[in-house]
Amino acid sequence: MLDSRDPLGSLKEHIARGIAEAASRLGLKVDPTEIPVQKTPSREVGHLGSPIGFKLAGRLKMSPEEVSKNVVDRLNLSSIPIAASASPARGFVNFRFDEPTLIRAIIDAASSPEFGRGDVRGGVVMVEHTSANPAHPLHVGSGRNAVIGDSYARMLRHAGRRVETHYLVNDSGNQTILMSYGFSKVTGEKPKGKIDHWFGAVYAATNIAIELRRAEGEERERLEQALDRLRAEHGEVVDKVFRAIREDPDPEGGVRNLLAAYQAGETWAKEIVRAAVESVMEGFVDTLDRLDIKHDAYDWESDLIWNGWTAEMLERLKDSGYVGFEGGAAYVDLARAIREREDVARVFGLTAERVRELDAEGRLEEVVPPKFYLTRSDGTWLYTATDVAYSLYKIEGVGVEVCHNVIGAEQRLEQLQVRASVALAGEDPDRIQHFSYEMVNLVGVAMSGRLGIYVTLDELMDEAKRKVVELLRDRPGLSQEEAEEIAEKVAVGAIRFALLSVDPSKPVVFSWDRVLNLEANSGPFTQYAYTRASGILRKAGGSPREYQAAALGTDGEYDLVMHLAEFPETLRSAISLRRPDVVAQYANELAARFNKFYETHPVLPAEEPTRSARLALVSAVRNTLGLAMDLIGVPRLEKM
């Protein structure tokens, strides 16, 4: 029978098995999973087809056409549910089903919240995402990370995985400590505006003040311009920080000192840094909450240090024999580890043989940077070290089966170093996965937290909302509060869709036009289709109890139904390829097909049995579109 959560998928499996059986009757053993089954280019030739003739022609020493004919002759059609006919067409074999039965199976499946859902199975899957540095507000780059990670977690959950989302609060590194040092000069100030933006200004002002001590010429000019911009936006706190740092005889020493004291857990340092970072994180949580992004846990880098995870990690790496010291700084002898340990070589995509080859050519240390540091000479921990400790915490502390680290592509090498270290510490490096995504750039200028140049998620939200409120002004029958609520949700839909809908492996150039797009190929486009479906169902008083699938069958209806059927497979692809954007594309395509249907197929005014059948289809579209929107976090709306 057909799987009620994925009828099309099970139909394809049945076809592949049927063809494999037919092939075995021709004396050829074929694995059903190797047999492609796809949609036909047009309904005239059948519903599903397979280019099996081309595939087996060589092995059977027949022409593709002959193979197709022979497969059809030896096919046990009754083993394929609801199949009405199979016909050879050049090298293809095309299958036709009893169409009303097919349509009903799909509509019924697509009307359930269980559509595309997987059985609950396996251990905890962690998705670590966002993890933005507290030194500047969440910007569009952090937004891409957050939206990718959050959406991916939603998809894993629908697929039946137990998911935990974590945020690593990076409070023990140079940038955050620098911000905290600047903050220590203005603790008497009352922060103005959104708290994380205020701290972002403190950070940038501190950094500029320090850099200006050395900068000359053009660089000096750039810094001064950045300072002016900062001053214009954030007012006197910028000057206060700037003056305090300028008068400080040794701000860099002060930062180093604060970093060491904080990592050592000294009370005075904790009071400063924790106060700063906790404030910033409150701001971050507000922003993420607006985008409907929540983390199950916030893991503080400093806790990993204070609770001994980093120290234990270092002991284990020392025990492995690949840690060296240089002026007090600990490093991992990666080149030697790669030479001697196959598991470490594999992390870098190298076989033992390839390592020997490279070594013979003297190129190993050119292909792989030969070592990396875990601590500074003063004994303080570097980011890579806390990240290795964090990985061990994920595996042994939380007990995850696997963790997907949503981290920018520019950190590829660091992630490989972390995974190599995990292997040296005796854990399976494949349990730590780098979910890589490319950066978001601004036209002309590069975003720079150091200089306070970025487009923040908050301003993006505000601007998107403003645009929607404007549009809503001439909508009749909407109260002020309704309009506000709708605008907020449309803004969220627009931003999430825009940040998600491009393949994560491709760099994107940020454009306001693209994010504020409310037309086709956008979150609001899917929301609009959803409200149209909702409107019809609302006026009809709900979905019909009974309907005749045979009343459906126009091309528009068929296209819509077949696209509904692809939801489960789309979800599986999105997960296995780490491409949450494909679900966004899917939702957009479903919305587009529904809009076409909507324009050409009146539902409420239609005669029975067409009316009920179309209502059932609308209900299935609403459900499936809603599920897809849930997965990418585009809010459902009943009216807009």
Partner RNA sequence: GGGCCCGUAGCUCAGCAAGGAUAGAGCGGCGGCCUUCUAAGCCGCAGGUCGGGGGUUCGAGUCCCCCCGGGCCCGCCA
Residue 93, by phi and psi: left (phi above 0), alpha (psi -120 to 50) or beta?
beta
Alpha-carbon gap, residue 348 to 365, rounded angstroms: 13
Q: How far is the CB of 533 from RNA (least distance, A)?
A: 9
Nearer to RNA, 146 or 490 (CB): 490
Helical axes 567-576 vs 610-632, angle rounded to 10°:
10
Q: How far is the CB of 376 from RNA (least distance, A)?
A: 3
φ/ψ of residue 126, rounded to 5: -100, 140
Residues with Cβ within 8 Å of 580's Cβ and at least 6 positions away in sequence, in order, are 148, 151, 152, 155, 500, 504, 574, 631, 632
Which residues are paired to 166 by β-bridges? 128, 297
Q: How far is the CB of 36 from RNA (least distance, A)?
A: 5
For residue 635, the 8-state DSSP code is: P
Nearer to RNA, 225 or 377 (CB): 377
Q: How far is the CB of 592 from RNA (least distance, A)?
A: 5
Six-digit token pair at 334? 């990666």
Residue 263 has, within 13 A of its CA and on its CB side, a CA count of 25
Q: How far is the CB of 327 from RNA (least distance, A)?
A: 4
Nearer to RNA, 188 or 349 (CB): 349
Nearer to RNA, 395 or 518 (CB): 518
Nearer to RNA, 457 or 536 (CB): 536
Q: How far is the CB of 132 from RNA (least distance, A)?
A: 9
**Dihedral of the CA atoms 146, 151, 153, 158 (nearest 10)?**
170
The helix (H) or strand (E) run that includes residue 166 is strand 162-169
E strands, 38-90, are: 38-39, 48-50, 83-89
Nearer to RNA, 215 or 582 (CB): 582
**CA separation (Å) from 316 to 263, 424, 481?**
20, 8, 58
Q: How far is the CB of 258 from RNA (least distance, A)?
A: 13
Q: How far is the CB of 193 from RNA (least distance, A)?
A: 24
Q: How far is the CB of 63 from RNA (least distance, A)?
A: 9
Nearer to RNA, 306 or 383 (CB): 383
Nearest alpha-carbon partner for 404 in 135, 629, 131, 630: 131
Nearer to RNA, 242 or 331 (CB): 331
Nearer to RNA, 191 or 200 (CB): 200
**Dihedral of the CA atoms 386, 124, 396, 420 (nearest 10)?**
-50
Residue pair 437/144 in contact (Cβ under 8 Å)? The answer is yes
Q: How far is the CB of 144 from RNA (least distance, A)?
A: 11
Q: How far is the CB of 546 from RNA (least distance, A)?
A: 19
Six-digit token pair at 600? 């050409």
Q: How far is the CB of 572 from RNA (least distance, A)?
A: 8
Q: How far is the CB of 280 from RNA (least distance, A)?
A: 14
Residue pair 100/550 in contact (Cβ under 8 Å)? The answer is yes
Nearer to RNA, 283 or 449 (CB): 449
Q: How far is the CB of 239 from RNA (least distance, A)?
A: 26
Which residues are paired to 372 by β-bridges? 332
Beta strand 323-326 pairing with 329-333: antiparallel
Nearer to RNA, 235 or 436 (CB): 436
Nearer to RNA, 421 or 585 (CB): 585
Nearer to RNA, 435 or 528 (CB): 528
3-state secondary structure 187-256: CCCCCCCCHHHHHHHHHHHHHHHHHHCCCCHHHHHHHHHHHHHHHHHHCHHHHHHHHHHHHCCCHHHHHH
Residues with Cβ within 8 Å of 489's Cβ and at least 6 positions away in sequence, in order, are 527, 635, 637
Nearer to RNA, 257 or 411 (CB): 411
Nearer to RNA, 247 or 266 (CB): 266
Q: What is the SS3 assignment for 148?
A: helix
Q: How far is the CB of 515 from RNA (least distance, A)?
A: 10
**Dihedral of the CA atoms 49, 50, 54, 57 (nearest 10)?**
-120
3-state secondary structure 382-406: CHHHHHHHHHHHHHHHHCCCEEEEE
Q: How far is the CB of 34 from RNA (least distance, A)?
A: 8
Beta strand 402-408 pairing with 432-437: parallel
Alpha-carbon gap, residue 177 to 158, rounded angstroms: 39
Nearest alpha-carbon partner for 118 in 156, 159, 162, 161: 159
Alpha-carbon gap, residue 52 to 38, rounded angstroms: 11
- Rg of the chain (C-alpha set): 29
Residues with Cβ within 8 Å of 402's Cβ and at least 6 positions away in sequence, in order, are 125, 126, 430, 431, 432, 433
Q: What is the SS3 assignment for 260?
A: helix
Nearer to RNA, 122 or 370 (CB): 370
